[in-house]
Amino acid sequence: MNLQAELKQNKPFKSLKEEAHLSIQRTAALLEHAFEGALKSHRITGTQYNVLRILRGSEPTGLCRNEIGARLVRQVPDVTRLLDRLEKAKLISRHRGGNDRRYVTTRITKAGLRLIDQMDQIINETHDEQLGHLDEGQLRKLITLLAAVRERT
């Protein structure tokens, strides 16, 4: 279905750029909604999953708050509060540095690792449902085009 019909829009788009922009937004919203649905049974949000994914990849050293914030797929205004919730759920731990007490290293806990490892299969299944109909060449082209868009933003 084309975007104009999907959005039940009677008039044509003002430009191809407008249509492309709205298509990116609509696609991202649909992908995110399905992704959040896949995470719901684990009582975790997409942003929390992203933090755990980042921290799993940083093992064994962990990362500081600013570095976690810089690596998030979607920027959030209060990384500290996000980390507070994950720490309260015992999915991450934070430790102050030796000489510089202001530096706090955040690491994923064993419980956090267990959770994200359990979620790997459902995440892979979600990716297959959403993008499995595209062949390798189409996926590479999509990745390249989206990277070109991000370069200018």
Q: What does pTM read for this prediction?
A: 0.86
pLDDT tens-digit series, residues 68-99:
999 999 889 899 999 999 999 999 999 987 67
Q: Match domain 37-123 to its CATH number in 1.10.287.110, 1.10.10.10, 3.40.710.10, 3.40.1190.20.
A: 1.10.10.10
Domain edges within the chain: 37-123
Mean pLDDT of the chain: 93
Q: How many CB atoms lie within 10 A of CB 116?
A: 21
Question: Can you give the pLDDT at residue 142?
Answer: 97
* pLDDT of 101: 64
Residues whose CB falls within 8 Å of the CB of residue 100, separated by 6 or more in sequence, listed in order: none
Taking CA atoms, 84 is separated from 47, 90, 94, 97, in Å, by 13, 10, 9, 18
